[in-house]
Amino acid sequence: MSYYGCIELEGNENEIIEKLNPLFSTSNHHLTPKAKMYLRGQFEGQCFVYKPNTQECLTPISFMWMPSNETHRKLWLWCHPASYDALAEILISLFENSSSISTGEPPSKKQKNGNEYQSVTVTRLRDQQQLARFRLIGPLSMAVLKHALHPSVLPGEVVERKTAPIAWWSNETYSADKHREQLQFWNSNVGNTSTMMPNRIVSLVVRDSRVFTPIKPKLTIHSKTSRFFPPNIEQLISLL
């Protein structure tokens, strides 16, 4: 899953949904990004993308909305690298007034018209090496995930190690409150597969997993070692 590429659409929610309509089958509109269960950004969806206004399938995709109460939204589309460039070009052609931002440009280059954002911006996130996807399969997947991911700590909280860094993002009250909500959801749901719905999106700031990697035992080297000498020819003849 780590080789999948991501394309970000940022702009007005209604315009994104309207412009993407030609890419989806009319019979499966309840599985596309405009479905109500996906709009709040709590679940990831999967569907097939077709070439505009045709029945020719281009690629399967996974998608998720960034949670927001505003009309200005972000939609992330994930697809296989074999169809990544084709899908990106189609999206750019659909949003004629949008700007395609290369992966090397910083976010500050997203132009705005006055106080308003551009209509829709298409951003390729394939080569930024900032996003990764992993798939865990099996009955112990959730237990492994909870054991590997340790939520970040806030200032004033008791930690199990003195080396725990102070969260730089916790200076804002909004971030700290959101983190406590996420932590409460994490502790109450992760590990209990009966309460976790399929394709549920859980956001959480975690610490570097390498900090909790068990220390490898050191090899003990003995000062006296026994040496093995192969038998000579006379010894071998005597055994015959």
User: What does pTM read for this prediction?
Assistant: 0.73
- In the block, tokens 């000579």 appear at 232
Regarding whether 158 and 112 lie in a shared domain, the answer is no
* Per-residue model confidence (pLDDT) at position 132: 81
* Per-residue model confidence (pLDDT) at position 134: 85
How much of the chain exceeds pLDDT 90, in percent?
Answer: 30
Residue 97 has pLDDT above 80, yes or no: no
Q: pLDDT tens digit string along 115-131?
A: 445 589 999 987 666 77
Regarding whether 75 and 172 lie in a shared domain, the answer is no
Which of 64, 96, 124 is a domain's end point?
Answer: 124
Regarding whether 118 and 21 lie in a shared domain, the answer is yes
Regarding whether 101 and 39 lie in a shared domain, the answer is yes
Residue 101 has pLDDT above 80, yes or no: no
Domain with 101 in it: what CATH number? 3.30.70.1400
Regarding whether 154 and 87 lie in a shared domain, the answer is no
Regarding whether 110 and 14 lie in a shared domain, the answer is yes
Range of the domain at 107: 5-124
Q: Kindly state whether residue 230 falls inside one of the protein's structural domains.
A: no
Q: Kindly state whether residue 74 falls inside one of the protein's structural domains.
A: yes
Q: Kindly state whether residue 157 falls inside one of the protein's structural domains.
A: yes
Regarding whether 37 and 107 lie in a shared domain, the answer is yes
Residue 111 has pLDDT above 50, yes or no: no
Q: pLDDT tens digit string along 54-88?
A: 889 999 999 999 988 889 999 999 999 999 999 99
* Per-residue model confidence (pLDDT) at position 166: 56
Regarding whether 176 and 103 lie in a shared domain, the answer is no
Q: Kindly state whether residue 133 falls inside one of the protein's structural domains.
A: no
Q: What total number of domains does the chain contain?
A: 2
Regarding whether 117 and 11 lie in a shared domain, the answer is yes
Q: Kindly state whether residue 229 falls inside one of the protein's structural domains.
A: no
How much of the chain exceeds pLDDT 70, in percent?
Answer: 67
Regarding whether 184 and 98 lie in a shared domain, the answer is no
Regarding whether 147 and 113 lie in a shared domain, the answer is no
Regarding whether 148 and 114 lie in a shared domain, the answer is no
Using an 8 Å Cβ cutoff, are 113 and 169 in contact?
no
